Amino acid sequence: MELIYMPMVLLFIVFIIVLLPKYFRFRNSDYQFKSGNSFFKTIFDKGSYGEFLTFSYLEELKMFKKLLVNIYVPKEDGLTTEIDLIMLSPTGIYVFESKNYSGWIFGNEKSRYWTQTLESKQKNKFYNPIWQNKGHITALKKLLELQYDDIFKSYIIFSERCTLKKLEYDSSKTKLIKRDDLISTLNEDIANSPNILKVDEILNTYTKLKEYSNVDDIIKKKHIENIS
């Protein structure tokens, strides 16, 4: 009889050791309300989990800010572009592209595709995240009717599990970092940036963008079909 219950006991122990800390972190975060994602949807989807971890880091910043997740911004061609995370603050609009990848990362700002090399030597191509975030910012400018560049800040966030092996890009225009460097990089950026948005401007922008966040499944499905 004891052998029959052993797998259940082991499963419970695994849950306590592995999942419970993640569950409490999830419960103490606003991510579930901002994204509409459940706990299990978040932790078992690599992309969603990376976004959640980045979001939880941003929540720790001791400053006035508004955060949005998964914003589907309309483009001029009638399609949408999905922005992982946006932070609105007095020092600007921070646009985050989350790449929850492992392995070695190689890339050049001028190349259309970058490369992820895994321990098994398998190589995977992925679209240039700098170009990707540039497209996000272009769509945001159009939507918000803001045509000056200084207000937007581009951040590409990779997982702590990867190695940024060889990357060539203009660091003055884009911050390309691993997630465990996010807070220190942001604090330095914020400390060296002037306040350019008033509280009412931040709140108005948040209200406008919120309607494009946590959208229904029809919009999500159409977006996926258009990029497939």
Residue-wise pLDDT tens digits, 117-139 = 999 999 999 999 999 999 999 99
Residue 228 pLDDT more than 60?
A: no
Per-residue model confidence (pLDDT) at position 30: 95
* 210, amino acid identity: K
In sequence order, which ranges of the chain are alpha helices (DSSP H)?
A: 2-14, 20-27, 31-35, 39-43, 46-59, 129-144, 182-191, 199-210, 217-227
* Beta carbons of 113 and 171 less than 8 angstroms apart: no
Q: What average pLDDT does the structure give for the chain?
A: 90
**Which of 77-81, 122-126, 192-196 has the least mean pLDDT?**
77-81
Residue 214 — φ and ψ, nearest 5°?
A: 50, 50
For residue 20, what pLDDT band results from cuts at 50, 70 and 90?
confident
Number of neighbours of residue 187 by Cβ within 10 angstroms = 13
For residue 220, what pLDDT band results from cuts at 50, 70 and 90?
low
Residue 156 pLDDT more than 80?
A: yes
Residue 103 — φ and ψ, nearest 5°?
A: 85, -165
Per-residue model confidence (pLDDT) at position 12: 76
Residue 211 pLDDT more than 70?
A: yes
Give mean pLDDT, residues 200-228.
75
For residue 13, what pLDDT band results from cuts at 50, 70 and 90?
confident
pLDDT, tens digit (0-9, with 9 covering 90-100), for 83-109: 999 999 999 999 999 999 999 999 999
Per-residue model confidence (pLDDT) at position 148: 73
Residue 200 pLDDT more than 90?
A: yes
Residue 3 pLDDT more than 90?
A: no
Residue 216 pLDDT more than 80?
A: no
Nearest CA among 150, 127, 166, 140 for reference residue 85: 140
